[in-house]
């Protein structure tokens, strides 16, 4: 008699959660993810932190999929999307964002990292032929205007090279993510996103270990319990489940809609940063959040 696999790992074979439910999970998981990662990088260097978390995700996913009989060798036709998600999202986006977190407040890094619609909308129009409806265009414009409020005069200090570097890394992370979103939407899938997840995590871990050794030296010899818990959350919830859910969403909805929807992440991230990290709430941050939510409300379409 075989043990029934956990419900989350049966989702792709049976009635999957609604797109709205998956979106909500991604927003909450990733909002908390970067706040927790901010705590982790106080002790663990950025590249090693990302490598450890993706390694943990792989350790969880391989036996979980094997137990549910969903572990398969990646089909050749899915190798390109496996590479793009692993390298652009799990390596590029995660590493650049984590490095940015060491240089600027978490709330700013999160918001800048989610400027993705700026890059996805033209990419989806040019490469996928997706039409951007007037309502979506207005929503994107309002959402982006909310993000731009964070670049009001004097914030950041344009003479502070550290702050500028941190902000630049977060924006580069957004560019990497936009590539992943557009390609994921265009790809014709054979395996499910869940079946590719452990291989993506394994590849990302192997790729990250090399620059981690070259740039940051040997891995940490000792990690305290709080940092280990933070990395475990990042690995299991933020990476394994979060990336799976976002990939499913990317398959179901247009790329522009997906990128606009995750703009709720910086909104929640600002609040969590204020509460957990004590970064405080700027009135213009609140105004920025309201503008972003308005943009989401205008731009999102209803999907089954």
Which pLDDT score, from 0 to 100, does residue 56 have?
Answer: 92
Asked if residues 53 and 238 have their Cβ atoms less than 8 Å apart, the reply is yes
Segments forming the whole domain that contains residue 120: 18-299
* DSSP letters for 249-262: HHHHS-HHHHHHHT
Q: How far apart are CA 87 and CA 65, in angstroms?
A: 22
The reply to whether 304 falls in a domain is no
The reply to whether 154 falls in a domain is yes
What is the pTM (predicted TM-score) of this model? 0.76
Which pLDDT score, from 0 to 100, does residue 68 have?
Answer: 85
Query: What pLDDT tens digit does each residue of the chain (304 aa) get?
Result: 444 445 444 444 443 447 778 888 888 898 888 889 888 888 899 999 999 999 999 999 999 899 988 899 999 999 999 999 999 999 999 899 989 988 888 878 887 887 777 777 777 777 777 777 787 788 778 877 877 776 665 555 566 788 888 888 998 998 898 888 888 888 888 998 889 989 999 999 999 999 999 999 998 888 888 888 999 998 889 888 887 787 778 777 776 677 667 777 777 888 888 888 887 777 776 787 778 767 766 765 544 4
Output DSSP code: residue 90.
I
Q: How far apart are CA 91 and CA 83, in angstroms?
A: 10
Number of domain units in the chain: 1
The reply to whether 93 falls in a domain is yes
* Segments of the chain assigned E as strands: none
The reply to whether 3 falls in a domain is no
The reply to whether 13 falls in a domain is no
Which pLDDT score, from 0 to 100, does residue 1 have?
Answer: 44
The reply to whether 204 falls in a domain is yes
The reply to whether 117 falls in a domain is yes
pLDDT digits (tens, 9 = 90+) for 122-155: 777 777 777 777 877 887 788 778 777 766 655 5
pLDDT digits (tens, 9 = 90+) for 156-198: 556 678 888 888 899 899 889 888 888 888 888 899 888 998 9
The reply to whether 10 falls in a domain is no
At CA 242, angle to CA 139 and CA 297, rounded to 5?
Answer: 15
Q: Buried (b) or exposed (e) across 148-164, using 16+ Cβ within 10 A?
A: ebbeeeeebeeeeeebe
Which pLDDT score, from 0 to 100, does residue 21 have?
Answer: 83
Q: How far apart are CA 299 and CA 146, in angstroms?
A: 14
Asked if residues 263 and 143 have their Cβ atoms less than 8 Å apart, the reply is yes
Q: How far apart are CA 170 and CA 147, in angstroms?
A: 13
H helix and E strand count, the chain:
15, 0
């Amino acid at each position: 008699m075989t043990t029934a696999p956990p419900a989350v790992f049966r989702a792709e074979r049976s009635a999957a959660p609604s797109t709205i439910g998956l979106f909500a999970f991604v927003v909450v998981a990733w909002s908390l993810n970067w706040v927790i990662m901010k705590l982790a990088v106080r002790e663990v260097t950025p590249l090693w932190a990302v490598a450890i978390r993706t390694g943990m995700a792989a350790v969880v996913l391989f036996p979980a999929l094997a137990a549910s009989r969903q572990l398969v060798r990646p089909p050749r036709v899915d190798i390109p999307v496996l590479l793009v998600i692993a390298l652009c999202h799990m390596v590029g986006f995660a590493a650049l964002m984590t490095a940015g977190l060491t240089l600027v407040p978490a709330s700013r890094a999160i918001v800048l990292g989610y400027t993705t619609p700026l890059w996805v909308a033209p990419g989806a129009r040019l490469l996928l032929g997706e039409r951007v409806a007037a309502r979506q265009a207005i929503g994107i414009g309002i959402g982006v205007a909310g993000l731009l409020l964070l670049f009001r005069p004097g914030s950041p200090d344009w003479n502070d090279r550290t702050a500028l570097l941190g902000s630049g890394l977060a924006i580069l992370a957004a560019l990497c993510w936009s590539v992943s979103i557009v390609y994921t939407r265009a790809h014709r899938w054979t395996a499910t996103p869940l079946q590719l997840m452990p291989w993506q995590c394994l590849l990302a871990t192997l790729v990250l270990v090399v620059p981690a050794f070259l740039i940051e030296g040997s891995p940490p010899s000792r990690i305290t319990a709080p940092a280990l818990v933070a990395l475990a959350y990042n690995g299991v919830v933020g990476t394994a489940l979060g990336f799976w859910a976002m990939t499913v969403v990317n398959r179901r909805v247009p790329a522009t809609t997906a990128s606009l929807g995750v703009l709720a992440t910086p909104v929640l991230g600002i609040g969590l940063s204020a509460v957990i990290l004590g970064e405080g709430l700027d009135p213009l941050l609140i105004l920025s959040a309201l503008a972003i939510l308005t943009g989401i409300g205008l731009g999102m379409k209803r999907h089954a």
